Structure 1
Amino acid sequence: MNVGKNLKALRKFKEMSQEEIAQALSMNRSTYSGYENGVALPNIENLISFSEFFKISIDDLIKKDFSVFSVNDWKNYSASWKDDAKGIHLRVLAGLVDQNNEEMIEMIPEKARAGYVAGFSDPEFMKVLPTLQIPFLSKDRKHRAFPISGDSMPPVNNGSHVIGEFIQDWTQLKSGTACIVVTKEDGIVFKFVYNHLEENQSLLLVSSNPVFEPYSVSIKDVIEIWKFSAYFSKDLPEVQMDSLQLSLSYRNLHKDIQRILDKIKS
């Protein structure tokens, strides 16, 4: 791990003292100095703080050696993530077309879920997938259907499929957008995405179920992003009784008001 010498190199690049860095991060100078000198290793909370402050990924903070970087190296490093995020380096997207040369909507079955990360760019993998036709989706955009497991994103429940629209330029993604995110580490996940690319080259993934903690993924771990377009399920969403009772109360109140108005008119 290169955390200590990387912290020192990053601090010098910013032309800041240990005291200034420590104050900016609400940390004791001795604690920060210990991290720089390799006396102690920062915990995950502090790694996140360093990542956000220096605007680099945690992965790079741990694995790269910034101590050997020249001024040009820093410039190239600072700009490289944007090329990836904007899709300037071609994203290989294998897909199927029908007899009219129109894009088809591939459906990833649950049994093919594990193989998607390895096979997403392989035409042979795509060739055996079932396909869908959804008339109301734009033919000018590329769509794909992904399986959903677990209960982290109600009302989209376990066993559903989410249809996503392929996103080429991740920098334009608005925070709070529901997306299928395909990562090297976790495979296919469905979350609300908060765009932190400018701050620290990461995305914050948030579930609609508050039981599940939000977590960040480095841009370098992201393979594809598909913006939510629709979903289908064999199950009806559960109706909350509180909402039903509120609706009934509203109807009864409306009837009472109507009776009063009728009496006034008569």
Structure 2
Amino acid sequence: MNSQNIFFGSNIKFLRERRKMNQESLAEKLSLTRSKLNALENGHTKAPQPDDYLRFSDFFKISVDSLLRVNLAKLSELKLRELEAGNDVYMTGSNIRVLAITVNEQNKENVEYVPVKAKAGYRSGYSDPEYLSKLPRFSLPNLPKSGTFRMFPTVGDSMLPIPEKSDIIAEYVQDWKSLKPDTLCIVILKGEQDFVFKQVTVGKDGTLMLSSLNAMYEPYIVKSEDVIEIWKYRSFLSQSLPSTANGQDQMMKILLNVQEQVNKINKNGK
């Protein structure tokens, strides 16, 4: 990455001055020496440690990603307050963080299952290892070792031919912008909104278009600040067999049959 596009040093200086703190007082708050803080602010530390990023992120309540890649001095006061409230302006997931996980006795990541009754609690406990440890968890073969996976139940028929009440196994997405258009995902939304299983297309304006496989349902747009997490579809478990044809497929077959009949009539009439 071009170092000219990294704003960590200037950002922590800007945030310090915004709070009307001098270097001595901030360094004391963060258990740093003043000389190290000065070096970080002026870019004299070529390779800050991960602890340094997390220390400032936790103190200022701003994600590591934004501290690194957004020039905070150019944002309005309203945007800065939104940022501090958790509405991240740099859309690569809600923030760069260590995703809370659980592991088995062999120190391998479990696949946690989020049942329907646990959905409400998940919105507040998704980053709490203690909360996650109370969820059902298990191991599945043939999952990539590099990813983190969870299982989510679905409701409704908006994703037919994937059957209703399927359990979706999905991989955590850190960088939302890496998603290709119409990627199948579980999207965790804030507030009273449900978890949704949709095709996700990330817009240039930071919005996400969510569309169903079932053409009976219209696509709709959500703002990035309304999204907590995105999990990319990998597979599903179901006790039902997928439908071989939905209503749209059947209509298409009828239309094709009519077209064939018309073609035969035209051919016989010549």
User: What TM-score do the two structures reach when normalised by structure 1?
Assistant: 0.58
Question: Equivalent residue for 2:169?
Answer: 163
Tell me how far apart the structure 2 counterparts of residues 108 and 88 of structure 1 sit (CA, whole Å): 19
1:215 Cα offset (Å): 0.8
* Ranges in structure 1 where 5+ consecutive residues have no aligned partner: 1-70, 247-266
1:175 aligns with 2:181: yes
1:208 aligns with 2:210: no
Distance 1:162 1:224, change over 3 A: same
Tell me how far apart the structure 2 counterparts of residues 187 and 93 of structure 1 sit (CA, whole Å): 21
Distance 1:116 1:75, change over 3 A: closer
Tell me how far apart the structure 2 counterparts of residues 137 and 84 of structure 1 sit (CA, whole Å): 30
1:82 Cα offset (Å): 7.7
Contact 1:117 1:187 in 2 (8 A): no
1:236 Cα offset (Å): 1.3
1:195 aligns with 2:202: yes
1:73 aligns with 2:75: yes
Tell me how far apart the structure 1 counterparts of residues 228 and 195 of structure 2 sit (CA, whole Å): 10
Structure 2 residue matching 1:86: 3-state secondary structure: coil
1:221 aligns with 2:233: no
Question: Equivalent residue for 1:232?
Answer: 237
Question: Equivalent residue for 1:141?
Answer: 147
1:238 Cα offset (Å): 2.6
Structure 2 residue matching 1:205: 3-state secondary structure: strand
1:110 aligns with 2:116: yes
1:187 Cα offset (Å): 3.3
**Deviation per residue, 1:207-266 (Å, 9 max, x gap):** 1112211111101111001111110001112334988xx9xxxxxxxxxxxxxxxxxxxx
Distance 1:117 1:92, change over 3 A: farther
Which among 117, 124, 129 is matched to residue 130 of structure 2?
124
Letter in 2 for 1:209: N
Contact 2:92 2:177 in 1 (8 A): yes
Letter in 1 for 2:222: V
**Aligned residue-pair number:** 171
Question: Equivalent residue for 1:28?
Answer: none
RMSD between superposed Cα atoms in Å: 2.8
User: What TM-score do the two structures reach when normalised by structure 2?
Assistant: 0.57
Higher helix share: 1
Question: Equivalent residue for 1:61?
Answer: none
Give me the identity figure in percent.
40
